[in-house]
Structure 1
């Protein structure tokens, strides 16, 4: 394959004129590095694993060649899509971890296909909304199916869609797809797919699960690694603060800088509501975004946040994956993510597509060790800063106020001590043999 330089334009990548016209309308002036490298490789039909920071343009990198391939196959009469019209089949399958990402990816694909005169049918299926509507949309099959695993399995069980004619499989946000909650569902879906297909795997981070999947699922894949933990357009800062002052510091920063759009991450659904109430008492209106909200409410909140109607949004990690919020200026970790890889996904909501962004983490004494782990795993090192009036004490106030631990009871002597020691030896032997 001929190498494509970073300065290549979309025409040099071999895209057809209807796609080029649409990209011009969307003001995509030149391909991003991930698009420059991925698009030619997708055209060759090889398996691929690609890593790049969020906001790098990876959706277009797989969507554009998929669309072109389907159109060209239809024109030559060789397309499985023509067969799909006679049954509930799909030609391309994109698996994503969240409802919001499913809708976003499908909307992007439909947008890129605007000048293809309806030649490519794209359907998104995900939970939280009526399955009947999605079943109707799948009648006669579809060219590209964007889906979350759980809802897709439900639709397969209802005979609404079949996967045995899929030609291209895309795993978007692959590290999340391979987490504990998706492993079983993903295994069931992979078993329903044909052995002969092109598989494209995209991930911003590459934990061991992703690396093992490449060996099992992909055949001689091309590897493209462009992700960087030091995105020049995104500034990362860390403020240390006493735990009891964290909310006050957050309110102070929002009011002092007069941020008109800020995304705040916490780790639990009830923490969203609790923090929103605390900010409300300080004169800051905030909305929440988490899994307990219905899909309609989630979609409305997200749309209002994107449009600027909502200025402060408090969310769990369902907002950390793939959501494209144009020119989002500030992301704040009020709670540190449990997984170091989720740190990069969270802060990647800002500083997207070359825009300047700011990612703040507010850490108290209990967070210090965990943040060091986040830094180590992501190969970063950030200076600890303090805000005047909210300085963290050298020693946690909680440790000073904590009651002294009672002294341990003596182990015992003589016969009791020997009996206790014998039990411990037997336990050690059992553990060793299991």
Structure 2
């Protein structure tokens, strides 16, 4: 095991009253006891360019950075014209995010202000499609949505973008990782020809992000990169635990017990595959550990219910794929456990960013094998040289892209054909599958792992 942690000198930051934010927003912030802007907020509040890219560490207030000026300008337009500007099916601002859970989160943040400002907002994807159509028909000022849901509403002619004056893409690095370049390109071309304020936001400045920005905007965009981006924040401590056997059950239990004794807050456990989540769910249940899960195999309603249960801290342990690593804000999380070591430095930084939100202390524990040493070495070198971590392509698109049920079935079959089953059984020590096993039993489902542990196969 070894530890790494960066140290930075603290600087004096400006207060919100120094910026040209709407008076109602300043009043709400004051009521909430929030007075000081973060560096990423300062960068975006003072940016005058109509097209901009904001890159900053996770948990540093990027949602407030793009959201507060937008809400203020929407309200200011109504006050200047002395009338309500909300129209049927024509929102004035669009925020595109990577997941339904993140859409709900941004909606919750925006509603802290819109209710008092008499503006309307909706997150698409959390309810039925027809109900969303009704809301849009009644008129909404701000729409928060995933790309898939936005395109579906556009095809159904229940949303039009002709009046959008503010277009935001949150988690641009995640969306490009998930192979959504074509949809983002079409929207970029559409809004570039209009007098629209365009904001891209992300936690990592990957090669995909750079190529997309260069190709679509060239010199038209202002790139804002916070100096601590790609760095380990001073409030996070990273522990790496080397596993000498393929079965990680024993070191995981040791880590879990250590976290339970040290921390009062919640824990997020990350896996690389949905099948790994299923195994860990069964293992925790067998050891009387209460958990909830978040991954692509769960129905939409159950995903929302599990996230709500974790957010309310009714259950303090969340098992998830990288679907839970992008943008979600859980300020009560004390520790992260990487049960499966992330496949890229980008995925590692996103996972680590779920702990230590808003400057609080956080701890990241990672189980790893020898074949994952390359990423460990890069993290160590970056720490020792106090330089940014090199960001490579993320593994997000391979596992966590939100597919339709039909696409999931196809993907599952192709995985079975392309990967020998022996490569997938790395959690079960000394286990070798019989050649006579039925094909359907070779899928890594919860029931299959249960049979393994009950020694029925």
- TM-score bucket (shorter structure): 0.7 to 0.9
C-alpha deviation, 1:159, in angstroms: 0.5
Paired residue for 2:54? Answer: 50
Question: What's the TM-score, normalizing by structure 1?
Answer: 0.80
Q: Which of 70, 77, 92 pairs up with 1:66?
A: 70
Distance in 2, matches of 1:12 and 1:295, equals 42
2:202 aligned partner? 203
SS at match of 2:248: helix
Q: Alignment partner for residue 295 of structure 1, among 295, 300, 303?
A: 300
Structure 1 residue 52, shift from structure 2 partner: 0.7
Deviation sequence 1:326-347 (CA, Å, 0-9, x none): 1310011111222321111111
Pairwise CA distance, 1:251: 1.0
CA contact (8 A) 1:90 1:143 kept: yes
CA-to-aligned-CA distance 1:11-36 (integer Å, 9 cap, x gap): 11122221111111222121111112
Q: Is 1:268–2:269 an aligned residue pair?
A: no
Displacement after TM superposition at 1:221 (Å): 2.5
CA shift digits 1:360-403 (9 cap, x unpaired): 1110223223433566788459xxxxxxxxxxxxxxx99xx9xx
How many Å separate the matches in 2 of 1:216 and 1:371?
33
**Number of residue equivalences:** 373
What is the aligned partner in structure 1 of residue 139 from structure 2? 141
| CA distance in 1: counterparts of 2:381 and 2:113, whole angstroms | 39
Give CA-to-partner distance per residue, 1:193-247, whole Å, 9 cap, x none: 4612211111110111211222234463232211251201111111111233422
Q: Distance in 1 between matches of 2:178 and 2:294?
A: 22
Q: Does 1:152 align with 2:156?
A: no
For residues 206 and 78 of structure 1, what CA distance do their matches in structure 2 show? Answer: 42
Q: Deviations over 1:22-59 (max 9, x none)?
A: 11122212111111221122xx3522111111110011
Alpha-carbon distance in 1 for matches of 2:285, 2:138: 50
More divergent stretch after superposition (254-263 vs 147-156) = 254-263
Match of 1:279 among 284, 303, 306: 284
State which of 178, 181, 184 in structure 2 corresponds to 1:183: 181
Write the distance in 1 (CA, Å) between the matches of 2:258 and 2:138.
56
Q: Which residue of 2 aligns with 1:33?
A: 39
TM-score, L = length of structure 2: 0.76
Distance in 2, Cα, partners of 1:55 & 1:155: 31
Distance in 2 between the 1:287 and 1:307 partners?
A: 12
From the CA coordinates, give the structure whose radius of gyration is larger: 1
Most deviating of 166-175 and 215-224? 215-224
Q: How does 1:69-148 map to 2 (within 5 A)?
A: 69-77=73-81, 82=85, 84-85=86-87, 87-116=88-117, 118=118, 120-126=119-125, 129-148=127-146
Instruction: Give unmatched runs, 5+ long, in structure 2.
Output: 1-10, 391-425, 431-457
Q: Which of 26, 30, 35 is the matching residue for 1:24?
A: 30
Q: CA RMSD in A?
A: 2.6
